[in-house]
Amino acid sequence: MKLGTKGDRYLFTESPVEYYYYHQPIVKKIWPKQGLTTGGTPIEVSGAWFDLRLDYGVIPYCKIGEKRVRAEFISTVRIVCGSPPNDYIAAALPVSVSLNGVDFVDTGFTFSYYTQPELTGLSPASGPYQGGTEIMLKGNLFSNITEPGTVKCRFSFKTGIDGYRQTIPKTMPAFYIDEHTMMCLSPNGFIGGDRLYV
């Protein structure tokens, strides 16, 4: 702290406070790029120069649109942000990061929100063992704002009474048709009654 001058020299007090300089983070990838409007989607942010120094107030933050959340520091190359709740589903929102909650840097990536879809039925309800059947999923609130290739149908065996029929689920890409319809191709290799998840 400057107190005054003595001749042409400044006089400073010895202060017990310190100021810490850090590199602004660089972001190379975020995943996933969409989540539910209710929030809570863990978003992995990968890049460089992430830091955590509580004694200097160096704490990672993410901002999606204008909503700021504290991130979990994993390493100098990765943080995880829980998406804040947001009802805005009209367009993707910019993602930025900060190490002090004030100086945010734009990552160049966006995050989209969607409403939890409601699945009411499917057609047809059966198909050949070889797979490849186009299954039309009927419901409400299907969205095409999400990134293509990330929306999937998950097929798994319906557990029998004995509870022993277990296998690894198979996933297939889901394709947006309209707000009430999506389409998945059935995978091969399943015999018997199955459950379908979207």
Domain shared by 172 and 91, yes or no: no
Q: How far apart are CA 60 and CA 44, in angstroms?
A: 13
What percentage of the chain carries pLDDT values higher than 70? 84
Cα dihedral 67, 109, 75, 82, rounded to 10, equals: 40
Tell me which DSSP letter residue 8 carries. T
Residue 109 within any structural domain of the chain: yes
Domain shared by 109 and 166, yes or no: no
Domain range holding 77? Answer: 17-114
Domain shared by 179 and 97, yes or no: no
Domain shared by 32 and 82, yes or no: yes
Q: How far apart are CA 39 and CA 72, in angstroms?
A: 16
Q: How far apart are CA 84 and CA 100, in angstroms?
A: 18
Cβ neighbours of residue 172 closer than 8 Å, sequence gap 6 or more:
152, 153, 155, 184, 185, 186, 187
Q: How far apart are CA 157 and CA 197, in angstroms?
A: 11
Q: Who wins on pLDDT, 6 or 22?
A: 22
Model pLDDT, residue 11: 75
Q: Are 172 and 98 in contact (CB under 8 A)?
A: no
Note the pLDDT tens digit of each residue in 69-109.
Answer: 999 999 999 999 999 999 998 889 999 999 999 999 999 99
Model pLDDT, residue 135: 93
Answering whether pTM is above 0.75, one says: no
Model pLDDT, residue 189: 72
Q: Who wins on pLDDT, 192 or 145?
A: 145
Domain shared by 78 and 161, yes or no: no
Residue 96 within any structural domain of the chain: yes
Domain shared by 109 and 22, yes or no: yes
Count the domains in the chain: 2
Choose the final residue of a domain: 56, 91, 114: 114
Model pLDDT, residue 151: 82
Cβ neighbours of residue 66 closer than 8 Å, sequence gap 6 or more:
none
Domain shared by 61 and 106, yes or no: yes
Note the pLDDT tens digit of each residue in 57-77.
Answer: 999 999 999 999 999 999 999
Domain shared by 102 and 127, yes or no: no
Cβ neighbours of residue 114 closer than 8 Å, sequence gap 6 or more:
34, 35, 36, 37, 89, 141, 143, 145, 146
Band (pLDDT 50/70/90 cuts) for residue 128 is confident
Q: How far apart are CA 91 and CA 43, in angstroms?
A: 18
Residue 74 within any structural domain of the chain: yes
Domain shared by 135 and 104, yes or no: no
Average pLDDT over the chain reads 86
Q: Are 137 and 198 in contact (CB under 8 A)?
A: yes
Model pLDDT, residue 171: 86
Choose the final residue of a domain: 114, 143, 178: 114
Choose the final residue of a domain: 69, 91, 114: 114
Domain shared by 66 and 133, yes or no: no
Q: Are 78 and 85 in contact (CB under 8 A)?
A: no
Q: Are 90 and 113 in contact (CB under 8 A)?
A: no
Domain shared by 106 and 142, yes or no: no
Model pLDDT, residue 14: 75
Band (pLDDT 50/70/90 cuts) for residue 165 is low
CATH code at 86? 2.60.40.10
